[in-house]
Chain A
Amino acid sequence: MNMLTETAVEKVLERKMTNSALKMSGTDVCVFYGEKQALHNVNLNIRENTVTALIGPSGCGKSTFLRTLNRMNDTIDSCRVTGKILLDTDDIYDPNIDVVELRARVGMVFQKPNPFPKSIYENIAYGPRIHGLARTRAEFDEIVESSLQRAGLWNEVKDRLQEPGTGLSGGQQQRLCIARAVAVSPEVILMDEPCSALDPIATAKVEELIHELRANFTIVIVTHSMQQAARVSQRTAMFHMGYLVEENDTDKMFTNPDDQRTQDYIMGRFG
């Protein structure tokens, strides 16, 4: 892409970002694991076509909050969520909501690449098949190719689509998982420390991919790396001991944060 069109894309994205309606919003979100309260009254908006980074020290609740966004916490028996989380205008904790459909709209990529023990092709085709997004072989072929293209993996794997996904390198596996998430055309993609098991080159590729995916998806990423949050996100939310401490433009957050706790954390100081 040449300079001019890239700037044009940026401009369009900026406009989209400032004008966009909120994609998701959490109001007074509390999460309990048994008796223990892990999140206290979190109010956080997720903007469309924006990368929102969740940062904070271990155990601060950032992953817990991420997992409330597609009800991954439902899989933990002792976990209870109160408050309201909207996806567009739908209350995702409404008893009538179909959780399988919700997770198709809000996809997830995990810390460790976890491809299915199947072929590269099947890894991608699986989601669209169970959601009935394609019928003919040609339709599946097209989804597999476009998803791998979007994940920047197509050129590396197009000649070995029938080989097992687990045979790829760590970085390739993670991009395969992103391609798999993209395949069902979700609206939001949640990423839980997607690069923590990757080397710097593979990390850079995933970060570049996140940057490109932003044009079509809304992304929420949990990361332990301050520099990664600064590089990939437009908005940053800082959690501490189960509370949302500060939410701000990433540019502001890393140059002149409002909250002392944010400042201490991103600067590697202890308050």
Chain B
Amino acid sequence: MASSHIITAFDEELKYLSRRISEMGGLAEQMVGESVRALINADVSLAQKVISDDAILDAAEREIDDKAILTIAKRQPVASDLREIMGAIRIAADLERVGDLGKNTAKRVVAVRDTGVPRPLARGLEHLCELAMNQLADVLDVYATRSAEKAAAIRERDDEIDSVYTSLFRELLTYMMEDPRTITTCTHLLFCAKNIERIGDHATNIAETIFYIATGNQPEGERPKDDLSTSVVAGVK
């Protein structure tokens, strides 16, 4: 960032926002990892922890919003200060949604506990989760540096998650066709996979917001997409 503001309290307010965003990001990332671990290990108490952690994330988002509104009202920010504050509001909203998705996965732990998650599917989910968490961790690192180039690079990466999600989707369909007794479990797992895939999208949104904060321009062109699950039909391989 450039030189300090003449009004030092303004700098403090901006620092507060970016510190709270980093904290939210750390918690959201942890919730995502724990939710998938709880799912695969049928760990109900860990799932419960994820569900209660979501309240902390919700509260953090509200605090960031309040502080951002107050700062706009008091300082009438312009140029990159204004983008910084608007960016904080948007990123906080994305992270809050990431928390919701983790919480939703955690809520399904009880439903799949008795049947358990079949081994190959567990491996697929773990892989998907790992990709999404990497995406999230990387984008939070980029937020700390406000690098437009790195933000643009992360935006280009979301298609990997999409393609793993699509193959998991096919796999779940196959399971359900082979043994209709797995339909309940597989449907829940399908929602879990979708949750994780959405987390990748939020990480990409955050990358776009960082790009905007840094440059003042919206990123150009369509983001890469490899989520073909919308056109997958049962029985066609």
Contact = CB atoms under 8 A, between A and B. Distances in A.
Contacts of A267: 5, 77-81
B230 interface: no
Interface stretch (A58-66, A128-136, A253-261): A253-261
Interface string A220-231: 000000110010
A269 B76 contact: no
Nearest to B2: A269
A260 B7 CA distance: 19
Interface in B203-228: 215-217
Contacts of A266: 78-79
Contact of B216 (A226, A230, A255, A271): A255
A263 B81 CA distance: 10
Contact of B2 (A226, A254, A260): A260
Contact of A269 (B3, B215, B216): B3
Given A255-B82, A255-B216, A268-B10, A263 B2 contact: yes
Majority secondary structure of chain B interface residues (helix, strand, loop or mixed): loop
Q: Which of A255, A264, A269, A271 has the most CB of B within 10 A?
A: A269
Contact of A255 (B7, B76, B78): B78
A268 B6 contact: yes
Interface residues of A, number: 16
Nearest to A260: B2
Nearest to B3: A269
Given A255-B82, A255-B216, A256-B216, A264 B76 contact: no
Nearest to A254: B78
Given A255-B82, A255-B216, A256-B216, A271 B76 contact: no
A246 B24 CA distance: 39
Contacts of B78: 226, 230, 254-255, 266-267
B4 interface: yes
B2 A264 contact: yes
B80 A263 contact: yes
B10 A270 contact: no
B102 to A, nearest CB: 35
B181 to A, nearest CB: 59
Interface string A233-271: 000000000000000000000111100100110111111
A136 to B, nearest CB: 50
Contacts of A271: 2-3
Given A226-B78, A263-B79, A268 B216 contact: no
Nearest to A227: B76
B5 A268 contact: yes
A269 B82 contact: no
Interface in B76-93: 76-83
Contacts of B77: 267
Contacts of B83: 255
B219 to A, nearest CB: 14
Contacts of A264: 2-3
Contacts of A230: 78
B79 A256 contact: yes
Contacts of A270: 3-4, 6
Contacts of B76: 226-227
A226 B83 CA distance: 17
A254 B10 contact: no
Contacts of A263: 2, 79-80
Interface in B51-93: 76-83
Q: Which of B2, B5, B77, B78 has the most CB of A within 10 A?
A: B78
A255 B79 contact: yes
Contacts of A227: 76
Contacts of B79: 254-257, 263, 266-267
A227 B75 CA distance: 11
B90 to A, nearest CB: 16
Interface of B: 2-7, 10, 76-83, 215-217
9 contacts: A230-B78, A255-B216, A256-B217, A260-B2, A263-B2, A267-B77, A267-B81, A269-B2, A271-B2
Instruction: Give the 7 A-B CB pairs with smallest separation, nearest first.
Output: A256-B216, A254-B78, A269-B3, A266-B78, A267-B81, A268-B5, A268-B6
